[in-house]
Every structure is written in C-alpha cells, then in structure tokens.
Structure 1
Amino acid sequence: MSSDTTDKGTLSDRLIDAVLRTLIGGLMKMPFERRTALMGSVVRKVIGPLAGYRKRAMKNLALIYPDMAEAERRRVADGVLDNMGRTLIENYSWRELGERLNGAPVHGAGLPHIAEAKAAGRPVLFVTGHFSNHEVPRQVLTAMGYEIGGLYRPMKNKLVNEHYAKTMTEMSGPVFAQGRRGTAGFARHLKSGGMGTLLFDVAVPEGVLVDFLGHEAMTATSAADIALRMDALVVPYFAVRTANGFEVFIEEPIAHTDAATMMTEMTRRLEAHVTAHPEQWFWVHNRWKPQKARAAATIAPGPGS
C-alpha cells in the first residue's frame, strides 16, 4: 500500500471527500432554492471548467451539432453544468425536494401498466438516462406508494460513493452497485416481484451499437436482458426541469422483442427528450467511442428496419 493510501482511500480521495462534505454541509444550512442555485453556479463557473467537464461537453456538442454556433454550444454546456450541480444538491436535499415534487405534473401512458403489474406481482424495470434529475421520477413514484430499487455505477471515490449511495437509499429505496454481487441483488429484488430502475446511457466496452443523436454509441443490453429473462415490464421514465420545478413522464412500456431492438427503442425515447432539452442531458459523458469495441458489438437495427 502506497504512503498516501489507507483503508479509507487515497489522500486525494480523502481531500475531495472532505471538501465535498464541507461544501454540502454549508449549503444544507441555506434555504432550498438558494442552495440549489448556488450549487448550480459553483459547478457551472468553477468545478466544471476546472475538471474539464465544459470542454468535454463542448466537444460532444460539436460532434452532434456541427452547425450549432459556438455561443449556443457554450450556453448549452453551461446549462449542463448547472443541471449537474443542482441535481447533486437536490438529491442530498431529498426531503425538501420531495415536498416540492408534491403535485408535480405526471404525464404518460405508463401509470396504469405499472399499477397492473404491481397487482399481479410482475417485476417492473424502469429505464432512463442521465437526463435532468434522473432520481425525480423514482421519488415521485415512491410518494405514490411504489418501492423502486436502483442499479447504479459506483463512483471511483469510495468515500464519496458511500454517503451518496446512502442518500439514494433514503430517498426512494434500495440501491445496488453494478458488479456481480450488486447485480445479483438487483435481480433478486426484481425476481421477487419488485420494481427497479436502471440508467442505460453510458459507454461500455461491449454491447450493441445503437444510433444515438446521429452517431453510433456502444450500449449495454443489460436492461433488455434482465427484462426478457424475468418477464419484467419495461417502462421508460424521465423528468424535465422547468421554471417551476419538474414535469415527470411515465411512458408507454417497451415491447419484449430482442435485446438490440429493445435497446434501440429505449434510446429513441431518451433521444426525444435530449433533442427537446439538450442542456439537461449529461454531455460530459464520453458517450461516442464505438471504434474501440466495434469488433465485439452487434449492430442494432436502424429506425424502421
């Protein structure tokens, strides 16, 4: 073990965790609206540029929207960073967020299907992306009487991940870290007739190549694989950030076909929201890198095929 590493993480991990805890602790003493606005500003003006997030967002926006003016790309990138900051502190402020979500508009044809599945003891898998605050639909449905577990990708900083995962569990239900043990726990949760949520819009080393915003993106098939194996209802859901809070969309379930077709349809659903509100998607992901894994990939069917 190196001199700057202990069982509590590296020196860098400990410093980052200490700074984040101090920042969050100070913000939590402020009124909710001021706290969320300030955290959005800190990420937009300080953390995002220093961490290279703005640069990556601008690069991805230029790839997808080559005709977009530089000023517009910067506006969208700044909105992305602001959304990141607000989302982080909102989730640590989940009780107050929940109060403000009371009465939030809920749209979509998925609600009766969810109720029917619950009554029948059928598993439900909600799928979504890193769009707006992706925890909001889970919290809204929790307030309606549903318990929804989550499968998430752990943060590299284990100290930060520990308290963030604890917050997610307190907010809406059990969360399971990706990996053999966590995925098995998530599967057991669903198999018992439970409900769970999974984010599918991150780059993976193998899977299927799906067209996302005009460019191929390697996409894991785990959501479709789990649904097909367990006969789980697959329901895309999203929150859209508005001037007055959020609107929640619980969409029509995705038909069971094959993994590639199902992942393509999930991507189409996310794509529609990203196109309408580009500043609310997590453009700092290195999402498009199919050339590194093309040999291991299946090409998903294109629209209309």
Structure 2
Amino acid sequence: MSRVGVAALWLLHWLPLPVLAACGQALGRVLWWFARGRRSVVLTNLRLCFPELDEGARRALARRHFGVLGRSLLERSLLWWAPRARLLRLVSFADEGRVDELLAGGRPVILLAPHFVGLDMGGTRVTMSFDIVSIYARQSNAVFDRWFFHGRSRFGDQLLLAREDGARPTVKAMKAGRPFYYLPDMDYRRKDSIFVPFFGVPAATITGLSRLSRLAGAAVVPCVTRMLPGGQGYRIETGEPWADFPTDDVAADTLRMNRWLETVVRTMPEQYYWVHRRFKTRPPGEPRLY
C-alpha cells in the first residue's frame, strides 16, 4: 500500500501547481470528514488558542486548515521529484542575502522555522542555496522514510542528524558554516522542556533555541514559509536577526520565541500545524486536554 501511495504521488507531481493545489484542497475536505481523531485535535487546539472565536468561526478555520494540509501532503511530491528549475520558480526566498551576509562575516546562523504547512517546501528551497544541518526524525514506515529522507537531502550536501545525537554535532556544524534549520515548536515531552505560555496555555517547550544560540554564538534568523493562495507557490520570509538574544534567562528567551510565534500564527492561522497535539504534556496536576 505504501508503494501505491508513492506511485500516486509520482503521477501527481506532473500536474501544474494550480491543479495539484485543487486536488490537495479536495483531499483536505475528505480528511475533514474521515480523520475524526485529528479533526478533534485541531478543534481542541483552536478552542484553547482562539477563545475569542465562536464555535462556527473555529470550525470554519479548522476546515481551511485541512484544505492547506491536504495541499501540503500532495505538493510534497514536488519536493521528491520536481526538477530544480521548477522548484526555484515555485518557491521564492525573500532576503536570502541576509543569511549570506551573516555567514560571510563568520557568524553561525539558526534559521528559526516553525511548523507551518509549507515547512518542508521552505526547507528544500533553503537546501538549494545552503548546505545546512537539520534534525531528521525517522518515519515508522520504511518506504516513506526513504522518500522523506530523499526529499530533504537531494540538493547539495546536507547534514541530517537524529535528535538523539545531542547538541555537540549541531554546534560543530554551525561553527563550520552550516545554517541550522531548526524546528523547536512541538511538544517533545518533558526532556529539555519547560512550561511557558503559548496563546496563554502552558505548553511544554524545548529550550534549545536559547541554549544552542549561546553555545554556537549563533544569530537567530526567523524563517517562515507561507503557502500562497490559488496555486501561486510559496514564499520564504526571513526576518532580521534577533537582537539581545540569547540572554541569561532561558525561560525568558523561550517565552520570547513563543510570543513571536503567536504573532506570526495570527497572520495565517489556517497554516499552522494544528493537527499536532501541542498541549499533550501537562504541568503536574493538570488534566489531559485531548
């Protein structure tokens, strides 16, 4: 069955992006109705993070999320098989020179890349410009694991590490001039995490951004990938390096990251990865939310 799915994706990658995007939106509507467990997770997350919205508005937002999620699943086929020239047309990279300048000046760089649905599209586009270091989580399905790994490493000389490898090889790679494409905004249980608010809800959040920035002397550059409407492609937006970061207060640094992320999420709330159980780890004594 896995090979059938991969074959179907291979066929779909030949479609023009507007047609592929429409197919993805249709897939999202199917997922909305049949992926009931994930639909419940999304609605719970939106209830917690957007209490100001009524139930109808939250369900409408959830439906839009499934639409862009379906797109991201099918458009992943482009990352696996589309030629370099096509990807360069589909994914623009705003302010790419900002990263070049930091690296040319000998400054290690952390690209802070939150979990929006365009994350992998942005990551592949970044690897077309830089040899990076990133964390790769192996997939339980061997067929899909092969293609996920292929998609993230097919351009350039990429260094994909396991989370179990620890901080040392990542810091070494950054000091050697590899930008670190870093995704620190998921619930990784209690290890290396502290509870800080995310949309006002205590969330187990890893403190790696502050620690790795300090260890490597790295600049933190926000790196957000937006999925554009109507099959227009994607845009990577890089911000100015964070000033006065890191500080001596790891909790304050981690809270700063979450507050920044909240601001970005509000600019495209349907594109954040709401199917993830972001609040599954609770402070002692608090009930489960899912």
Change (3 A) 1:210 1:170: same
Find the counterpart in structure 2 of residue 224 from structure 1: 210
Spell out the pairing of 1:1-305 with structure 2 (5 A cutoff): 15=1, 17-46=2-31, 49-50=34-35, 52-94=37-79, 95=83, 96-101=86-91, 104=92, 106=94, 111-112=97-98, 114-142=99-127, 145-171=129-155, 174-181=158-165, 185-206=169-190, 207-243=193-229, 244-254=232-242, 255-258=245-248, 259-292=250-283
Count residues with an aligned counterpart: 274
Q: Structure 1 residue 62: deviation in Å? A: 1.5
Partners of 2:31 and 2:66 within 8 A in 1: no
Partners of 1:176 and 1:183 within 8 A in 2: no
Distance, in Å, in 2 between the alignment partners of 1:48 and 1:168 is: 31
Distance, in Å, in 2 between the alignment partners of 1:122 and 1:89 is: 37
Q: Map Cα deviations across residues 125-154 of structure 1 (whole Å, 9 max, x no partner).
A: 1112111401344455455x4333322333
User: Aligned to 2:259, what secondary structure does the other structure show?
Assistant: helix
Distance, in Å, in 1 between the alignment partners of 2:156 and 2:23 is: 25
Partners of 1:80 and 1:279 within 8 A in 2: yes
Structure 1, unaligned stretches of length 5 or more? 1-14, 296-305
Distance, in Å, in 2 between the alignment partners of 1:171 and 1:86 is: 23
Distance, in Å, in 1 between the alignment partners of 2:284 and 2:168 is: 26
Residue identity over aligned pairs, in percent, reads 24
Distance, in Å, in 2 between the alignment partners of 1:239 and 1:222 is: 21
User: Aligned to 1:257, what secondary structure does the other structure show?
Assistant: coil
Partners of 2:136 and 2:162 within 8 A in 1: yes
Distance, in Å, in 1 between the alignment partners of 2:167 and 2:146 is: 17
Distance, in Å, in 2 between the alignment partners of 1:61 and 1:247 is: 25
Once the two structures are overlaid, the 10-residue window that deviates more, 244-253 or 120-129, is: 244-253
Distance, in Å, in 2 between the alignment partners of 1:221 and 1:124 is: 17
Distance, in Å, in 2 between the alignment partners of 1:35 and 1:158 is: 26
Change (3 A) 1:152 1:294: farther
Runs of 4+, deviation exceeding 6 Å: none
Distance, in Å, in 2 between the alignment partners of 1:272 and 1:164 is: 30
Partners of 1:152 and 1:178 within 8 A in 2: yes
TM-score by length of 2: 0.82
Partners of 2:108 and 2:174 within 8 A in 1: yes
User: Aligned to 1:122, what secondary structure does the other structure show?
Assistant: coil
Partners of 1:76 and 1:279 within 8 A in 2: yes
Distance, in Å, in 1 between the alignment partners of 2:172 and 2:33 is: 38
Change (3 A) 1:40 1:158: farther
Q: Which amino acid aligns with 1:274?
A: V
Partners of 2:32 and 2:39 within 8 A in 1: no
Q: Structure 1 residue 27: deviation in Å? A: 1.3
Distance, in Å, in 2 between the alignment partners of 1:265 and 1:253 is: 14
Q: Structure 1 residue 245: deviation in Å? A: 3.2
Distance, in Å, in 2 between the alignment partners of 1:284 and 1:48 is: 14
Distance, in Å, in 2 between the alignment partners of 1:260 and 1:129 is: 19
Q: Structure 1 residue 185: deviation in Å? A: 4.4
Partners of 2:110 and 2:182 within 8 A in 1: yes
Partners of 2:25 and 2:67 within 8 A in 1: yes
Change (3 A) 1:126 1:294: farther
Q: Map Cα deviations across residues 168-196 of structure 1 (whole Å, 9 max, x no partner).
A: 11257525243333865444321312112
